[in-house]
Amino acid sequence: MQSLKILPNIKYLLENNKEQEAINIITPNIDTLALYLKDCLGLFTASTKESSLCLSKIHFINQNYDQSIKFAIKAGNLFLEDKTFFYKALVDRMMSCLLIDTNHFCKPFILDLIKNDILSDSYIGFLFSIKEYELFEMALSKQMSNKDLLSFLINEIQDKNMFYKSIINIQNKETEQALFLLIDAYAYFNMTAQLKNLLLEMESKDICLCYTLCFYIDECYKLDLQVENQNMMRILNGTFKKEIFNKFRVENNLTSFKLLDSMTKSLTSHVSFVNSFMNLGTTNDTFYRNNSDVFGRLNEWARYLDVANLGMIHYKNDNPYDVLKNYIPNESNNKEGGSLQALGLINNGSYNEADNELLLYFLDSIDTLTDELAFGSCMGLGLINIGSNNKYIISALIKLAKEKNTIYGEAATIGMGLIGCGTCEKELLDQLRCIEEDTEYQRVIRSIGIANALLVAFTRKEYNFTNKFGDVLSLGTAFVGTGSLEIISKVLPFINHEDDDVKRNAIIALGFICCMEHSLLLDTLEPLAENHNNAVRSAVGLVLGFFFSGTGNERVCDLLEGLMYDTNSLVKQSALIGMGFVIMQCNDTLIKNYKRIIGKFNKVIVDRSEEGSVKFGAVIGRGISEAGGRSIIFSITNMFNKITKERLVGALMFFNYWYWYPYINFISLNLKETGFFVFDEDLQLVDKSLKYNGNYDNILIKVPDVKKSRKFKAKPAVEEEIITKADENIQSGKRCTLLQMKECGIEFPGVFFTKK
């Protein structure tokens, strides 16, 4: 308060044109005096830089920010040399003003700072936001080797149109990452001619790099490009990828039929799911055919599931009709609707016209259409045409949805969502709303919510649906992978909704939003594992498990193991399934409680007193833990860490298995091989190996045989362990685990090209 006594002196000095002396007194005490100098502001002449800086600080403290900015700019270098909090805060204020009004008077000053490289690298995104695209391109061209920055910009910038135009203008071809980004830009604008020219240019410069670019195009875009080089064509049309990965899954299959047999002996139901998970993509359906007497006795939807699961085993098979020839419906047998879903799983995303013609044939025969045929046809059409927005097929599905049949309505609306995935087609959204208004079936209303969420996927826009089930889910799919804290804050209140289905979808939505940032996802969902609501806890277990597939994350394992002993059956089921994902490709060295966890799975499976829903979770979780012969994981991202429509569909539909078991096998769309491949310029496998230090042996703990005591109580025998020693080195063309890839620095897709 002593400093306030000098206020009259300051006023006297200003009135007598002794401004510099007044400033010398004010500056050391400005934090205290500024609020009391409002009446003296008119006495300042601001004729010097010192006076302007002093006035700027006074206005800043009084929250007159425009005036503060005005005088700070007038202070010039003196302001720039002020390295106090005031300088940093006022520059931030200027940048905020520009974000609101791109023509704010401080714009020239800020742009000068940027041009002189006074601000940090963070200004690159800022330049884009204030629409200074020329400066943005100049700055970004110097940072094209910065992978983290590029990933950040791709994720944060919403105006993809201008962003990709800038990438095309920059034309940086110095690094692999820059070339990937240029391909993204060409693909975004469908500039196939320029894309082809880029490949031809790279072919003459570096054929191995060119192969990598072709592999990227096939994995991410599947464009119809024609080039003369036959090796490039094999990669571009997907033949090469299908060949190497189909062969990889078959040759590296560590599936144990002893485990399958032991589960069959324990009289466990749903063993078909275990078989399809363990042999996912391996084409090995021996167990199914050897037990045809068991599977043949199943009826209706149980039979449907078992036949549909063949689509998982023969994922991406070149000859689906040979595999399914005994199951495809015909005039004498129209019951095997599951084969139509299996066809969709095998040929997902292929847009095959022959498949469409076959599946539409059954929908046209409405008089002989059964529930199984309708559902299988719709799922098959949806899977084969994901995101195609095929109007003809959609019109057929709309017609089917108007039939007064709950299965027809659910199947047709889900099919519409699959085909329109990511298109945000207004006409289709309107059609779904009309169907919702005309139906009284809760199953159909729920499926419309899922369809809406699929339609708005990747749009990064908020939609207000009357259907709360789909409303919260659409936030997750629209902002998938963004990690947006703003959207997270909008989803969290749904956890307190009165409807358990909405609460469950809120957790799923959070999973989608945070899926690219594991730490954010875990920090967000971990506290919710202790929520009082069963639907919330169960969803946390399932979602965390899926997004941490194959990681063996200690925090997630501990959390899920606790949920496995929950008092609620639904929570235990989801925790068991979630745990199956996390422990994929792991052993007792990588996860300290691995044997105890597997022991819990086995105990639940053989315990005849255990509830059926919990037993089902253990069966599915056990199958997932051994999926694909232990040579795969499940992921929402493709080989180049991009979230695709197919993978979003797979995860979303699988998360809804609780309502309808035929959605379980959609998880095959999230299959991701963990291998190491090195090819030469002739696309021949090169003998290459990498050393590692960890213990990655494969340990299989069989389900114990059930033996009866005199009291007829089930007593499990001692669990038998089968250990398969891991190779001393990671060999080219052989399997490795996700954790091995991380240790050795192998980045996905794990496919490399090198000169001889």
Q: Which of 363, 355, 354 is nearest to 398 (CA)?
A: 363
Q: Report the C-alpha gap between 514 and 491 in whole angstroms.
A: 12
Q: With both helix axes pointing from N to C terminus, report the angle between 406-419 and 371-384 in degrees, rounded to the nearest 10.
A: 10
Write out the H or E segment, with its range, that includes residue 521.
Answer: helix 518-525
Question: pTM for the complete prediction?
Answer: 0.90
Tokens 């899954």 belong to which residue? 249
Extents of the domains making up the chain: 2-119, 150-248, 689-753
* Mean pLDDT of all residues in 362-372: 86
**Which pLDDT value is given to residue 44?**
82
Please choose, from the candidates 102, 137, 139, 138, the residue with its C-alpha nearest in 3D space to the C-alpha of residue 123: 139
Evaluate if residue 173 carries a pLDDT over 70: yes
pLDDT at 2 over 70: no
Categorise residue 299: left if φ over 0, alpha if ψ from -120 to 50, beta otherwise: beta
Task: Give the position of tokens 């990498």.
Answer: 690
pLDDT above 90 (res 263):
no
Identify the residue with better confidence: 148 or 237: 237
Question: Is 269 a residue whose pLDDT tops 70?
Answer: no
The lowest-confidence range among 62-71, 77-86, 411-420, 519-528 is: 77-86
Distances (CA, A) of 198 to 79, 171, 186, 584: 48, 10, 10, 40
The two tokens of residue 290 are 């050897």
The confidence score (pLDDT) of residue 107 equals 93
Q: Is the pLDDT of residue 712 over 60?
A: no
Query: For residue range 716-754, what is the model confidence (pLDDT) as tens digits?
Result: 544 567 888 888 899 999 999 999 999 999 999 999 999
Q: Which residues pair with 753 in a beta bridge?
A: 679
Mean pLDDT, residues 600-620 = 92
- Range in 267-281, 376-390, 699-713, 722-736 with the lowest mean pLDDT: 699-713
pLDDT at residue 203 above 90? yes
> Quick check: 393 and 428 in contact, CB under 8 A?
no
Confirm if 585 and 737 have CB atoms less than 8 A apart.
yes
Mean pLDDT for the stretch of residues 576-603: 95
The pLDDT, as a whole number, for residue 707 is: 59
Burial of 78 (0-12, 13-18, 19+ CB in 10 A): middle
pLDDT of residue 42: 79
Structure tokens at 366: 């409405």
Q: Would you place residue 334 in the very low, low, confident or very high pLDDT band (cuts 50, 70, 90)?
A: low
How large a percentage of the chain has pLDDT more than 90? 68
Flag the least confident range among 24-28, 177-181, 393-397, 619-623.
24-28
- Residues 151-164 have a mean pLDDT of 89
DSSP string, 283-329: ---HHHHHTHHHHHT--HHHHHHHHHTHHHHTTT-S-HHHHHTTTS-
Q: Which two tokens stand for residue 275?
A: 């078989």
pLDDT-derived band of residue 222, with 50, 70 and 90 as boundaries? confident
* Cα diameter, the chain: 112
Question: What tokens does 747 get?
Answer: 């980045």
Give the total residue count for the chain: 756
Residue 686 to residue 689: CA distance in whole angstroms? 9
Q: What pLDDT is stored for residue 123 in this prediction?
A: 82
pLDDT for 335 equals 67
- Token pair 């159909």 is found at 444
**Confidence band (pLDDT; 50, 70, 90) for 120?**
low
Confidence check: pLDDT of 268 > 90? no
Q: Contact 371/338 with Cβ under 8 angstroms?
A: no
Instruction: Tell whether the model's pLDDT for residue 580 goes beyond 90.
Output: yes
Query: Which tokens sit at 577?
Result: 């399934």
Instruction: Specify whether the CB–CB gap between 154 and 220 falls below 8 A.
Output: no
pLDDT average, residue stretch 184-205: 95
Mean pLDDT of the 575-591 span: 96
pLDDT band at 604 (very low <50, low <70, confident <90, very high): very high
| Secondary structure class of 698 (helix, strand, coil) | strand
pLDDT(379) > 90: yes
Q: Give the tens place of pLDDT for each residue, 285-333.
A: 888 888 777 676 677 888 899 999 999 999 999 999 999 998 998 765 6
Q: What is the pLDDT of residues 15-56, one digit of tens each?
A: 788 888 888 888 888 888 888 787 787 778 888 898 899 889
